[in-house]
Amino acid sequence: MRALSYIGKEGLPALLETAANQDVAKSTAAASHICDMINLGTNARPAVPRVVAFLSGPDGSLAGMAAHVLGCWGIEPELVVPALAKSVEGPTKNTFLRFMAAESLGKFGREAGPAVPVLVEVLSDADGDLRLAATNALRRIAPEVLGINAASGENGK
């Protein structure tokens, strides 16, 4: 599976097929290798729905890796942004997933506008790292929410 991930887009179909396998160990291993393929860009389109599904899976580490790779790919915002926003919500969720999802939302820039209310809510979260990730994401998505002039990057006072 590692070799398939190194091959790139040509290895993706086999990894996607294995990730759909009923054998949990094989499925998780394949999913992990898909999440290592951060440089696929638009070649990742066939994998996006599967990786979005990893966000709500039982493996918290895999879910966090999925959030990260979705941000690296930066494609399919109409599908990915709502899924990442949902992953940020709620303090009872995996903190690694919440952090990675917030960070990845920032990589979508203005296309992640629908996630602004969730990110604003996270600004009062008890987790300082999560608050920082949300702040940084908002700087890229909607700096005006933070009182920052988008053109200058400075406080608008």
Domains and CATH numbers, the chain: 2-155 (1.25.10.10)
What average pLDDT score do residues 34-40 get? 89
pLDDT of 156 strictly over 50? no
Chain segment 88-146, per-residue pLDDT in tens: 997 667 899 999 999 999 999 999 999 999 999 999 999 999 999 999 999 999 999 99
Give residue 20's pLDDT.
84
Give the highest mean pLDDT range of 38-52, 69-83, 90-104, 139-153: 69-83
- Rounded distance, CA 157 to CA 147, Å? 8
Per the CB < 8 A criterion, the answer to whether 131 and 125 are in contact is yes
